């Protein structure tokens, strides 16, 4: 990209000397760029508050700084309303096959993240409970006259069933958006990026999200849970996890439904993404009901 083609909003940021820029593709809700100046490469993300997704950028930046202090994320170099600049890590972005091949590394990373992050978190606590998110998404979809509105009664009934399978667990600080692309591997260690949904919650949502978003097999999932808990989960915990895998897919599908009303990222087809996750949810539910029976 030639200098005269670089967007003015990038040239206005506090870089050192001339810059080069290239867009980073693949995001579903934010605009990202790799920008190189005299100091080296950086990652720029543009994104405003998304109240319909419970996303607050001030909170996101706070968590990103906390994650860097705790050793889990890149340094935040600049933040202003609607934009953040973070350290560029020379690391490879993971795909689903990487998560499936490394369940022990993922389990270890999540255990450390969950228990070390609270000491670095500042300000008012934010709680992420997926079943509240699902119910609130349903309200947004009703108000927005979504094409998915006819599906909502069945989806809310399903959420009630899955929530009833949960058991009391310690409160941890979770990432809550463990798509494969939010893992970076520099060859020595794993990093996590994108903290829009991070907050206090249950470990099961991160574990279930990592497993379901990567299409882990039952054997790979067993290895993930063993690495995280240090032992095989007792039957009530395993059922809660299996239910949470379904809830993770349901929440991802409804995230896409809400995004279909409110977002327009280049190349993103939110309606198709919603249907893809509903298809995955149907398969997961078949396995869940086969193991535990259907709700009456």
CATH of 3-87, picked from 3.30.200.20, 1.20.140.10, 3.40.50.2300, 3.40.50.300, is 3.30.200.20
Name the residue ranges covered by the structural domains of the chain.
Answer: 3-87, 92-292
Helix (H), strand (E) counts: the chain = 10, 10
Domains 3-87 and 92-292 in one fold:
no
At 150, is the secondary structure helix, strand, or coil?
A: helix
The kind and range of the H/E element at 211 are helix 203-213
CA atoms within 13 A on the CB side of 44: 26
Q: Give me the pLDDT at residue 151, please.
A: 96
Q: Supply the DSSP string of 236-272, one letter for each residue.
A: HHHHHHHHHHHHHHHHHHHHHHHHHHH---TT--HHH
Cα angle at 219 between 216 and 223, to 5 degrees? 90
Q: Tokens at residue 153, please?
A: 């009664």
Q: Is 216 left (phi over 0), alpha (psi -120 to 50) or beta?
A: beta
Phi, psi of 39, deg, nearest 5: -90, -15
At 42, is the secondary structure helix, strand, or coil?
A: strand
Q: What is the DSSP letter of 88?
A: P
Q: Is 267 left (phi over 0), alpha (psi -120 to 50) or beta?
A: left
Classify domain 92-292 by CATH number.
3.90.1200.10
Phi, psi of 188, deg, nearest 5: -120, -40
Angstrom distance (rounded) from CA 222 to CA 216: 10
Q: Give me the pLDDT at residue 208, please.
A: 98
CB 222 within 8 A of CB 101: no
Q: What is the DSSP letter of 32?
A: E
Q: Tokens at residue 53, please?
A: 């997704």
Q: Give me the pLDDT at residue 3, please.
A: 65
pLDDT, one tens digit for every residue, the chain (296 residues): 666 689 999 999 999 999 999 998 776 778 899 999 999 999 999 999 999 999 999 999 999 999 999 999 999 999 999 999 999 999 999 999 999 999 999 999 999 999 999 999 999 999 999 999 999 999 999 999 899 999 999 999 999 999 999 999 999 999 999 999 999 999 999 999 999 999 999 999 999 999 999 999 999 999 999 999 999 999 999 999 999 999 999 999 999 999 999 998 877 899 999 999 999 999 999 999 999 998 75
Angstrom distance (rounded) from CA 290 to CA 282: 12
């Amino acid at each position: 990209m030639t200098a005269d083609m670089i967007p003015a909003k990038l040239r206005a940021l506090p870089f050192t000397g001339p810059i080069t820029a290239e867009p980073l593709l693949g995001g579903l809700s934010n605009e990202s760029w790799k920008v190189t100046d005299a100091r080296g490469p950086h990652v720029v993300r543009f994104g405003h508050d998304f109240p319909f997704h419970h996303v607050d950028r001030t909170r996101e930046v706070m968590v990103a700084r906390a994650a860097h202090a705790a050793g889990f994320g890149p340094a935040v170099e600049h933040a202003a309303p609607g934009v953040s600049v973070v350290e560029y890590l020379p690391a490879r972005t993971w795909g689903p096959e990487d998560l499936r091949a490394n369940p022990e590394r993922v389990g270890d990373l999540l255990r450390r993240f969950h228990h070390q992050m609270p000491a670095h978190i500042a300000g008012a606590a934010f709680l992420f409970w997926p079943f509240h998110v699902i119910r609130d998404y349903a309200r947004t979809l009703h108000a927005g006259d979504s094409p998915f509105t006819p599906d909502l009664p069945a989806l809310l009934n399903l959420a009630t069933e899955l929530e009833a399978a949960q058991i009391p667990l310690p409160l941890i600080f979770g990432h809550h958006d463990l798509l494969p692309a939010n893992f970076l591997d520099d060859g020595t260690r794993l990093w996590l990026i994108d903290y829009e949904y991070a907050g206090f919650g249950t470990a099961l949502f991160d574990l279930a999200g990592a497993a379901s978003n990567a299409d882990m097999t039952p054997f790979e999932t067993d290895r993930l849970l063993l690495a995280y808990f240090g032992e095989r989960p007792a039957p009530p915990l395993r059922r809660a996890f299996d239910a949470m895998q379904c809830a993770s897919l349901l929440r991802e599908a409804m995230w896409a439904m809400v995004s279909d009303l409110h977002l327009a990222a280049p190349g993103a087809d939110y309606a198709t993404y919603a249907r893809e996750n509903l298809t995955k949810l149907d398969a997961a539910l078949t396995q869940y009901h086969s193991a535990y029976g259907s709700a009456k």
